[in-house]
Amino acid sequence: MPFYHRLGAIPPKRHTQFRQPDGALYHEELVGTLGFSGVSSLLYHKQPPTKVNRLGTPTPYGPTKTDVPLQPAHLRPFTGESTGDDYLEARRWLLINNDCRIAICLPRQRRMDYYYKNALHDEVVFVHDGAGTLITPLGTIAVRPGDYVVIPRTIIHRWEWEEGLVRLLIIESAHPVETPRRYRNHFGQLLEHSPFCERDFRAPETLVQEDEAREWVV
């Protein structure tokens, strides 16, 4: 069952002229997880989202697989105070296969000075400790301990954390993250025996307004 959410002003119909107060056109962007066939959102920008001023040097990212014999392991990941400075660099990979990869993250930095986009995986961030704000073009959402934050692939975002300990469990999924089929009826509504329901879901709450053109690092 579709869950429709809107923030700010939008035109009555899709793919039509939608003008800003000064008469300039808003730039419409279709963001989807599986091209034109998957879940998608329409975003309206004051500046063209396709504009790229320059490309920087690629930064290696991701886990490294090692070919060693498998053996039982008792994982106790949250034993230290920090796993690194940066939200990406601080990820410590625990488990990896072709479907998903799981990491812990205890970053020292409380504010990202760039935006990040995972183009290959949906991300699920479990907030074990810490409180902060996720900032995206779809809006911002406040998070607190115990939250599961689902960030679909291709969504540009950054985090701002409050002071205090931040401990995260991050799952990167090669497949779209969705509710299990056994908990949904034919129309997509969550059934009564589901361990969660639509009331538990929270969407972005506040729209980010940027009135002046400026450069952003992604």
Q: pLDDT of 117-128, one tens digit each?
A: 999 999 999 999
Give residue 1's pLDDT band: very low, low, confident or very high (50, 70, 90): low
What does the pLDDT average to over 11-38? 92
Q: Is 140 a domain residue?
A: yes
Distance of CA 45 to the CA centre of its chain: 19
Give the pLDDT confidence score for residue 215 in this predicted structure. Answer: 84
What is the H or E stretch that residue 103 is in?
A: strand 100-105
What does the pLDDT average to over 36-56? 89
Q: Is 40 a domain residue?
A: yes
Give residue 100's pLDDT band: very low, low, confident or very high (50, 70, 90): very high
46/96 same-domain check? no
Distances (CA, A) of 217 to 52, 53, 113, 184, 200: 10, 10, 8, 40, 33
Give residue 71's pLDDT band: very low, low, confident or very high (50, 70, 90): confident
196/105 same-domain check? yes
96/191 same-domain check? yes
Q: Is 18 a domain residue?
A: yes
101/153 same-domain check? yes
Q: Is 65 a domain residue?
A: no
What does the pLDDT average to over 157-186? 95
195/96 same-domain check? yes
Give residue 69's pLDDT band: very low, low, confident or very high (50, 70, 90): confident
16/114 same-domain check? no
Burial of 43 (0-12, 13-18, 19+ CB in 10 A): middle
Residue 98 above 70 pLDDT?
A: yes
CATH number of the domain residue 95 falls in = 2.60.120.10
DSSP state for residue 15 in the 8-state scheme = T
17/98 same-domain check? no
26/126 same-domain check? no
DSSP 45-95: ESS-TT-----------S---------------TTSS-SBSSTTTTEEEEE
Q: Give how many domains the chain has, as a whole number.
A: 2
Q: Is 62 a domain residue?
A: no
Of 4-18, 45-59, 151-165, the one with minimum mean pLDDT is 45-59
Q: Is 125 a domain residue?
A: yes
Give residue 35's pLDDT band: very low, low, confident or very high (50, 70, 90): confident
Give the pLDDT confidence score for residue 166 in this predicted structure. Answer: 95
**How many Å apart are CA 25 and CA 194, to the nearest integer?**
44
Q: Give the pTM.
A: 0.91
Residue 48 backbone dihedrals phi, psi, to 5 degrees: -60, 120
Residue 13 above 70 pLDDT?
A: yes
Give residue 36's pLDDT band: very low, low, confident or very high (50, 70, 90): confident
What does the pLDDT average to over 75-79? 84
What is the span of the domain harbouring residue 175? 91-200
Q: Is 165 a domain residue?
A: yes
Residue 88 above 70 pLDDT?
A: yes
39/99 same-domain check? no
Q: Is 161 a domain residue?
A: yes
Give the pLDDT confidence score for residue 210 in this predicted structure. Answer: 74
Task: Name the amino acid, one letter, at 127.
Answer: V
